[in-house]
Amino acid sequence: DQQVKQNSPSLSVQEGRISILNCDYTNSMFDYFLWYKKYPAEGPTFLISISSIKDKNEDGRFTVFLNKSAKHLSLHIVPSQPGDSAVYFCAASGTSGTYKYIFGTGTRLKVLA
């Protein structure tokens, strides 16, 4: 099931700079997208979401952009902090009245001090 893809398994960024994490999806029926952050041996922690009627949503240092025509979303973290180091998952839902999330494979972000 490759409906949601995160093509970069890892990303390293200097503290204070921008982190950009990318996610692509194939199912045009998805209408709700989320980013979760996950530390080892913990559950996913919700960061930010966006519905398909928007193309941008901001919450503090986190901004999610949605490009429906390209079936692409991205998470921007500005400025990046060492505490942001974790695995980031994008998730999508909304196909055929189902509420389940389809997750990407994750991107491991390392913010260097």
Partner 1 sequence: EPEVTQTPSHQVTQMGQEVILRCVPISNHLYFYWYRQILGQKVEFLVSFYNNEISEKSEIFDDQFSVERPDGSNFTLKIRSTKLEDSAMYFCASSDRGRWETQYFGPGTRLLVL
**Which residues are near partner 1 by CB under 8 A?**
1, 31-32, 34, 36, 41-46, 49, 51, 89, 91, 93-94, 97-106
In the complex, what is the shortest distance from the CB of residue 8 to partner 1, in angstroms, rounded to a whole number?
14
In the complex with partner 1, which residue's Cβ is closer, 15 or 22? Answer: 22
Q: What is the dihedral of CA 40, 44, 47, 48, to 10 degrees?
A: 140
Cβ atoms of 90 and 71 closer than 8 Å: no
Per-residue CA distances from 89 to 24, 37, 65, 80, 96 (Å): 12, 6, 15, 17, 22
In the complex, what is the shortest distance from the CB of residue 44 to partner 1, in angstroms, rounded to a whole number?
5
In the complex, what is the shortest distance from the CB of residue 5 to partner 1, in angstroms, rounded to a whole number?
10
Rounded Cα gap, residues 24 and 42, in angstroms? 25
In the complex with partner 1, which residue's Cβ is closer, 15 or 95? Answer: 95
In the complex with partner 1, which residue's Cβ is closer, 75 or 91? Answer: 91
